[in-house]
């Protein structure tokens, strides 16, 4: 999610898309069998940037150079907002996905990784929401169906890159 997210002042912003996030999250998505990786941004220039990067690796010189990368980036779909992403997923799967926000902040009512994994094993479609910048906007977290417990290490420091958090969470939910 590149919008609505917050900056370090807590203001709601639209964040920039990064090439590294596209590559790394799509590779993690492909590794763990995730059908779609939605890049959500209301910014037309950012959607064009994603389309250009993906086209290079799916149809351009990058496709011939690195077929594995082509396969991974094929999971990417770009949407203007979360409503559009959820509608696309519902149309593809035949069921409304549960919106599952991720956060680095401890809060009451979070579901454990095992609970989310059990939902997946029962066939429930989950749309995991990963925030860029300083995380998902509080309103989006509040509107989600579930909030996943944060990744916790042995220290108080908890500011992972979105691509690192996505890989860890996908491993916890989908690894054999």
Q: How many residues does the chain have?
A: 176
Residue 21: pLDDT over 90: yes
What's the CA dihedral at 99, 104, 110, 116 to 10 degrees?
Answer: 50
CB 99 within 8 A of CB 136: no
Residues in contact with 13: Cβ distance below 8 Å, sequence separation at least 6, in sequence order: 3, 4, 5, 6, 7, 133
Q: Which domain holds residue 91?
A: 5-174
Count structural domains, the chain. Answer: 1
First to last CA, the chain: 27
pLDDT digits (tens, 9 = 90+) for 42-63: 999 999 999 999 999 999 899 9
Cβ–Cβ contacts within 10 Å for residue 128, how many?
22
Confidence of residue 133 (pLDDT cuts 50, 70, 90): very high
Confidence of residue 81 (pLDDT cuts 50, 70, 90): very high
DSSP 65-92: H-HHHHHHHTTEEEESSHHHHHHHHHHH
The mean pLDDT of 122-133, rounded to a whole number, is 97
| CATH number, domain with residue 160 | 3.40.1280.10
The average confidence (pLDDT) of the chain is 97
For residue 136, what pLDDT is reported?
Answer: 98
The mean pLDDT of 119-126, rounded to a whole number, is 97
Q: What is the pTM of this model?
A: 0.96
Confidence of residue 106 (pLDDT cuts 50, 70, 90): confident
């Amino acid at each position: 999610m590149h919008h609505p997210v917050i900056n370090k002042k807590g203001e709601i912003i639209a964040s920039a898309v990064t090439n590294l996030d596209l590559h790394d999250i799509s590779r993690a998505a492909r590794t763990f069998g995730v059908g779609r990786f939605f890049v959500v941004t209301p910014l037309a220039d950012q959607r064009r940037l994603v389309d250009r990067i993906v086209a290079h690796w799916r149809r351009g010189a990058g496709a011939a150079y690195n077929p594995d990368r082509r396969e991974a980036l094929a999971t990417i779909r770009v949407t203007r907002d979360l409503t559009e992403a959820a509608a696309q997923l519902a149309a593809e799967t035949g069921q409304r996905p549960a919106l599952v926000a991720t956060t680095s902040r401890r809060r009451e009512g979070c579901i454990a990784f095992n609970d989310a994994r059990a939902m997946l094993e029962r066939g429930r479609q989950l749309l995991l929401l990963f925030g860029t910048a300083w995380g998902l906007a509080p309103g989006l977290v509040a509107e989600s169906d579930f909030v996943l417990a944060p990744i916790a290490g042995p220290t108080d420091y908890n500011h992972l890159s979105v691509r690192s958090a996505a890989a860890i969470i996908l491993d916890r939910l989908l690894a054999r």
